[in-house]
Amino acid sequence: MLSFFKDYKLFAIVFGAISIVIIALIYNTLNVYQPLPIYQPSMVSTQLVDSTIQYKKKYHKIADFSLVNQNGDTVTQNTYKDKIYVADFFFTTCQTICPIMTGHMAEIQKEIMDDEEVMLLSHSVTPEIDSVAQLKRYATKKGVIDKKWNLVTGDKKEIYKLARKSYLAVKDNGDGGPFDMIHTENFMLIDKKRQIRGFYDGTNAEDIEKLIDDIAILKEEQ
């Protein structure tokens, strides 16, 4: 009888060890690294994409740009060369979703403060209102750190084209002027090759956590 229990105990130990190894292998298999998608216009709601590129399925990148930030400095694609960055569209007088979005962008800023590879970029959709002085007041109020986060204004036509042909992020306002737009809550994650790697709800705290995690994934990839 004692021999039986000794044999059973040995079997249980061996079986337990094998089970742990199998479970670990299954876990690792299920958690294989998955790269972030590279978004193309054809993958995004047509409401957010200019009709001329709605069916584009590859090679989409953020176009060159030249805008002015809260300090009156020119900001171009070269400012973000070899950077991962988070972009959005807002306006300083917005009283609905913008304060939430800006607050969440500030949280991201805090997370990336010491990371030289990552920056932020917020575009005004009402550049006629958001002058450099207005952006500076807003930036000061919201705790914007100049080296990490640019709030930009400029030619409305250029911002419109960036929003709908590059970032795929705003709706066309058919009732307004030719370049009027309705911004959304979207945050876009842009990689070092100027490709869109993620869309996130800038008003949703869980999405912000995912965005921060995805930045880490991109850093490993690039």
Question: Quick count: other Cβ atoms within 10 Å of Cβ 58?
Answer: 8
Q: How many residues comprise the chain? A: 222
Burial class (CB in 10 A: 0-12, 13-18, 19+), 88: buried
* Of 103 and 14, more confident: 103
Give the pLDDT band of residue 183 (cuts 50, 70, 90): confident
Q: 219 versus 178: which is more confidently predicted?
A: 219
For residue 151, pLDDT beyond 60: yes
The pLDDT of residue 28 is: 46
Smallest CA-to-CA distance from 84 within 210, 217, 186, 185 is with: 217
Long-range contacts of 53-58 (CB under 8 A, 24+ apart): 53/165
The pLDDT of residue 156 is above 50: yes
Of residues 221 and 8, the one with the higher pLDDT is: 221
Binding residues: 94, 98, 183
Which residue positions form the known binding site for Cu cation? Answer: 94, 98, 183
Alpha helices in 92-143 (DSSP H): 98-112, 132-142
Secondary structure E strands in the chain: 66-68, 74-76, 84-90, 118-124, 149-152, 170-172, 181-183, 186-190, 196-201
Between residues 182 and 71, the one the model is more confident about: 71
CATH number listed for the domain at residues 41-221: 3.40.30.10
pLDDT at 180: 82
- The helix-helix angle for 98-112 and 205-221 (nearest 10°) equals 40
pLDDT at 168: 97
What's residue 21's pLDDT?
47
Tell me the pLDDT tens digit for each residue of 94-104. Answer: 999 999 999 99
Is residue 4 scored above 50 in pLDDT?
Answer: no
In Å, the largest CA–CA distance within the chain is 91
pLDDT score of 27 = 43
For 57-102, write each residue's pLDDT tens digit.
Answer: 999 999 999 999 999 999 999 999 999 999 999 999 999 999 999 9
pLDDT of residue 181: 87
